[in-house]
Amino acid sequence: MSDVNTMQIEFTLNGTPTKVDVAPMDRLLDTLRYALGLTGSKEGCGEGECGACTVYLDGVPVNACLVPTFQVRGCHVETIESIPHESLDAMLTSGATQCGACTPGVVMTACWLNRHPELSKTHSVRELMAGNLCRCTGYDGIIDGIECEQRTKSSTL
Amino acid sequence: MRRLEGISKLTGQMQYVDDIHVEGCLWGMTVRSPSPRGRIREIRFGNAVDWSQCVVVDHRDIPGPNEVFLIERDQPVLASDYTRHIHEPVVLIAHESREVCRAAVADVQVIVDEEPAALEYRVLPKPEEVQRGNDNVLKTLKIEKGDVEGALANAAHVVEGVYETGAQEHVYIETQGMIAWVEDGVVITKGSMQCPYYVVNALKHALAREESGVRVIQAPTGGGFGGKEDYPSHLALHAALLALKANRPVKMIYERSEDMAATTKRHPSRVRHRSGFDAQGKLVAQDIDVAIDGGAYVTLSPVVLSRGIIHAGGPYACEHVRINGRTVLTNSVPYGAFRGFGAPQTLFALERHMDVCALAMDMDPVELRRINLIRDGQTTATGQVINDGTDRAAILDKAASLIGLKSKCDEHASFNATHPYLRRGTGIAVFFHGAGFTGSGEVALKSRVRIAGLPDGRVEVLTSSTEMGQGALTVFTTLAADRLGLEPKDIIVAEPDTARVPNSGPTVASRTAMVVGRLVERACDDLQQRVGLDDGARGDVVRDAIAMWHRNNEGKALYGEAIYEKPPGINWDDTNYTGDAYGTFAWAAYAAEVEIDLRTFSARVTDFVAVQEIGSVINETLARGQIQGGVVQGIGWALLEECVQERGAMKNCQLTNYIIPTSDDVPPIRVVFLENPYEYGAQGAKGIGELPMDGPGPAIANAIAQAIGVSADVLPLTPERLMTMMDSAHV
């Protein structure tokens, strides 16, 4: 299906080898949402300010709206669709989501913080979450959910 | 009960309008006016795209009147030969490819013979700028009680002040979006919105169709805050016009910069106060003048002004009150609904002014407020008698003690005296917010709710009230389940689809839980009666009776229904602006602690306390979330969010340079609910959504004024503005 403007890009998406024909400069966000039908990642601003499109690129959170698709060739991309539901209980209880538009990005950053507990030793959760804008919750519901999850994890270790 | 759609949102499975795949859909985009005012001489189409592959719509494609149906019909769907603001929609384009569509929009030039634009609402327009009446005033309103001039003449103290606030952008994280298509001759629009029936009315009017010829479906909505009250009517019309011409579905999704530049914002305001006090500090007269910038069309400005002036006198008892309000036309992008709807502006002025008065009279700001707070049996500015048993002084004292208003005073004084560049202060504001539509608005709406009893014994709640993050879905489920003694899984809340749901009114004005929720309860009662039960029946009895009814009435539909009835004793005089402006008020006192860095002039909120009486709390997590979110939006308005205007349009229309608070910009928001059930609200609830927008502005400004001695009379108090204020305070 490729024409002069597109190229085949191979990468690993949520653990599955994936090939997609898109223009190399197409934003990863558009490739995920429109070419691959993974609409969990949201567009909030299109310029890397809001974090609603946060995905992991080789394990590191990035704004998918700022990543040209060719850049993920051979890489591992993980999206909100890869996050297990059971890990979200604390955030559901704490009121971490209201309208839900920022939420997938918030969850991606929050889950990444949970995978990297060492960060919380040098930074507050408020600092670490500052790359994800939320207009509904005032952030307390989000911060409470993350801290609750961290406490649960550390008490079960 | 935890948020019912919460997991679907947390996992990214919720399908918002841009997530919905529609086969054969075109992308729709908008060509906008480059000029604030003038005659459209020509529209030039370039050669950059193949126009034969584009669908192009202009005003000539509108089947009915070229008017967006709202309070007045002065705003065109698409500008024809005249434009009144930058970014006014002129031409619509649709194409299969989003890229080509973008290129096509860029390839159209709208040529305008410019005329003098009115861009300043605070001064009288020059003759050549006049476009409405002889002064561009869109609407004036007046509240008058007693003899203000007489009382001011005899007052021991008269204190004056002028206060201003700027525009504020909603920044719902999901931008505006709509899909339109035609099915069996019916125009269907589905998208992000607060008020499906507003969209129905707009489509009927401009498309010249009967109600049966249009259908509106709310898609899951990623935040509204008022910004999706009236604007979705425009977008639905645009998408529908393109879909009708293309004979294919059309999707329009605004990019952030377009959304920020072209859609409505909070009205800028200027409020003048002249307050008279007796020798003990009792308020004897309030003379208040309120002006708001309406922008280029009437939109909702008269109603925003109405709520603004009704709240302008605040929660104080005063015998002599005069409040004059006006909304003024300018050639700016029209201003519209935003959480609080005029009240945050006038309450900022009032509550900042109360601190100014306290300072002028050498009184303690809390004491000045306490002795003037309205007591049961006393009246508001419109003469509404307050008699709800709420201890308003206790609310004030609770907020003052939690923030440490007294205890921190000395601590801050010594800190400020010794620290080289940091300054700390605390401030408080006490206020109220009327829930539901103003005056006779709820009566005029005649809101209707239906509860369907299904053959398997479950029930379905049918309303046009929308979930946009505030928790309507969870609250309606709770209310119906509690009322019928059923499990939440036995309750379905219908998708707001105007082909199925009755008009329960718009999802605005903090009315959904209180007013529509009460209708849900009453419709449940009605359903019970229709299946032969009394309204005390609960649980299996109800399920069985519903199922039995269906066995006896096969193929028929079973509905319980309720229509709004005003609570007894509520009377409003719309001509004289007197009487019961709202069924009830929520009461609150908010307090802030701030720290200002004199090297950068940036102010930070370091502690925030929100104490409020909101009737009964239906769901603590959801209610707290509303307060915390509203407070942080208020902190943004107070300190960070500046719409930089150029020729009546927002220049900084990006999240890069329009700054909203991050998690690191705000402290934990401490929330306290004091409960005093309201007899006519669902489970005793009062409205809550808008209340938290009112308090942060004045509480923070008061804290900053205390810390560094500036006037703090203009919001937002950005570093630039604080620096200027500092300079003039220390000349």
Same fold, B269-437+578-729 and B447-563: yes
In chain B, where the domains are located:
6-115+176-253, 269-437+578-729, 447-563
How many A-B residue pairs are in contact by the CB < 8 A criterion? 179
Contact A135 B174 (CB under 8 A): no
**Among A68, A63, A64, residue whose Cα is nearest residue A25:** A68
Q: Identify all chain A residues contacting B668, using CB atoms and an 8 Å cutoff.
A: 140, 143
**Which pLDDT value is given to residue A4?**
59
Distance from CA of B97 to the nearest CA of A (A): 12
CB-CB contact of A8 with A2 (8 Å): yes
> Per-residue DSSP letters for B52-80?
GGSEEE-GGG-SS-S---SSS--S-SS--
What percent of chain B is modeled with pLDDT above 90?
A: 99
Is B6-115+176-253 in CATH node 3.90.1170.50?
Answer: yes
Asked if B238 and B14 count as a contact pair (C-beta separation under 8 A), the reply is no
Map out the domains of chain A as residue ranges: 7-81, 83-156
A27: contact with B, CB 8 A cutoff:
no
Distance CA B677, CA B584 (A): 11
A50 touches chain B (CB under 8 A): yes
B315-B320-B325 Cα angle (round to 5): 75
Query: How many Å apart are CA B725 and CA B731, to the nearest integer?
Result: 10
Rounded to whole angstroms, the Cα distance separating B74 from B298 reads 7
Dihedral sign for Cα atoms in the order B271, B272, B275, B281: positive
| pLDDT value of position A5 | 86
Closest CA to B685 of B610, B609, B626: B626
The percentage of residues in chain B with a pLDDT greater than 70, rounded to a whole number, is 100
pLDDT tens digits, B279-324: 999 999 999 999 999 999 999 999 999 999 999 999 999 999 999 9
Distances (CA, A) of B508 to B475, B513, B697: 15, 11, 21
Output the average pLDDT for chain B: 97
Q: Are B319 and B378 in contact (CB under 8 A)?
A: no
pLDDT digits (tens, 9 = 90+) for A38-93: 999 999 999 999 999 999 999 999 999 999 999 999 999 999 999 999 889 999 99
Contact map slice: B 191-220 vs A, CB within 8 A: 220
Contact A40/B12, CB-based, under 8 Å? yes
Average pLDDT over residues B91-109: 97
Highest CATH level, class, for A83-156: mainly alpha
| Parallel/antiparallel/unpaired status of strands B448-453 and B459-462 | antiparallel
Q: Which of residues 221-260 of B touch A (CB under 8 A)?
A: 221-225, 255-256
Q: Does residue B349 have a pLDDT over 50?
A: yes
In a mutagenesis test of the A interface, which of B9, B98, B658 is the best target, namely the one with the most A β-carbons within 10 Å?
A: B9
Q: Which among A44, A107, A137 has the least Cβ separation from residue B625?
A: A137
State how far residue B664 is from chain A, nearest Cα, in angstroms. Answer: 5
CB distance from A45 to chain B under 8 Å? yes
A49 at interface of B, judged by CB pairs closer than 8 A: yes
Probe site for chain A from B507, B624, B662 (most A CB atoms < 10 A): B662
The answer, for B644 touching chain A at a CB cutoff of 8 Å, is no
Q: Is B621 on the interface with A (CB under 8 A)?
A: yes
What average pLDDT does the segment B201-230 reach?
A: 98
Nearest to B715 by CA among B354, B346, B405, B400: B346
Task: Say whether residue A29 is in contact with chain B using an 8 A CB cutoff.
Answer: no
The overall average pLDDT reported for chain A is 95
B12 to A129: CB separation less than 8 angstroms, yes or no:
no
Instruction: Give the whole-angstrom CA distance, residue B520 versus residue B561.
Output: 8
B604 three-class SS: strand
pLDDT tens-digit map of A129-152: 999 999 999 999 999 999 999 888
| pLDDT confidence band for B198 (50 / 70 / 90) | very high
Nearest to B225 by CA among B194, B270, B263, B182: B194
* Domain covering B447-563 in this structure, CATH number: 3.30.365.10
pLDDT of residue A1: 39
Q: Which residue of B has its CA nearest to A137?
A: B629
Identity (one letter) of the amino acid at B176?
Q
Helix, strand, or coil here: B222? coil
The two tokens of residue B194 are: 């607060």
Determine the distance in angstroms separating the CA of A149 from the nearest CA of chain B, rounded to an integer. Answer: 15
Question: Is residue B585's pLDDT more than 50?
Answer: yes
DSSP class of residue B224 equals -
DSSP 8-state assignment for residue B515? I
Name the token pair of B397: 């004292």
Mean pLDDT of B558-562: 98
Please state whether the peptide bond connecting residue B716 to the residue before it is cis, i.e. omega within 30 degrees of 0.
yes
* pLDDT for residue B535: 81
List, for residues B447-474, the tens digit of each pLDDT value. Answer: 999 999 999 999 999 999 999 999 999 9
Cβ atoms within 10 Å of B34's Cβ, excluding its own: 18
A26 to chain B, closest Cα gap in Å: 11
CA angle B514/B218/B459 to nearest 5° reads 60
Q: Give the per-residue pLDDT at B729.
A: 78
Coil, helix or strand for B522? helix
Look-up: residue for tokens 């804290």? Answer: B703
Q: Which residues of A touch B5 (CB under 8 A)?
A: 100
What is the Cα–Cα distance from B691 to B631, expressed in whole angstroms? 9
Interface predicted TM-score (ipTM) of this complex, two decimals: 0.97
Q: Which residues of A46-94 form beta strands (DSSP E)?
A: 54-57, 60-63, 76-78
Distances (CA, A) of B727 to B62, B393, B596, B709, B713: 55, 37, 15, 11, 15
pLDDT of residue A154: 80
B662 touches chain A (CB under 8 A): yes
Does pLDDT of A3 surpass 60? no
CA-CA distance, B365 to B351, in Å (whole number)? 10
Q: Taking the CB of residue B396, how many other CB atoms lie within 10 A of it?
A: 25
- Which residue is associated with the tokens 């929520």? B586
Nearest residue on chain B to A106, judged by CA atoms? B10
Strands B558-563 and B448-453, sheet pairing:
antiparallel
Tokens 């604030």 identify what position?
B36
- Average pLDDT of the segment spanning B159-171: 98
Give dist(CA B164, CA A81) in Å, integer: 46
3-state DSSP call for residue B537? coil
Taking the CA of residue B136 and the nearest CA in chain A, the distance in Å comes to 35
Please determine, for residue B395, whether its predicted confidence score (pLDDT) is greater than 70: yes
What are the chain B neighbours of A26 within 8 Å (beta carbons)? none
Q: How far apart are CA B581 and CA B620, in angstroms?
A: 28
Contact residues on chain A for B469, CB-CB shorter than 8 A: 98-100, 136
CA-based nearest distance B16→chain A, Å = 8
* Residue type at position B491: I
3-state secondary structure B263-312: CCCECCEEEEEEEEECCCCCEEEEEEEEEEEEECCCCCHHHHHHHHHHHH
Residue B395 vs residue B409, higher pLDDT: B395
State residue A157's pLDDT score. 59
CATH class of B269-437+578-729: alpha beta
Q: Indicate the pLDDT class of residue A2, thresholds 50, 70 and 90.
A: very low
Q: In chain A, what residues touch B629 (CB-CB under 8 Å)? A: 98, 135-138
Of the candidates A39, A45, A91, the beta carbon closest to that of B19 is on A39
The residue among B265, B315, B395 whose CA lies nearest residue B581 is B315
Compare CB distances from B662 to A47, A133, A137 and report the shortest one's residue.
A133
The answer as to CATH 3.10.20.30 being correct for domain A7-81 is yes
Q: Give A-chain residues touching B11 at CB under 8 angstroms.
A: 40, 80-81, 83, 85, 88, 104, 107
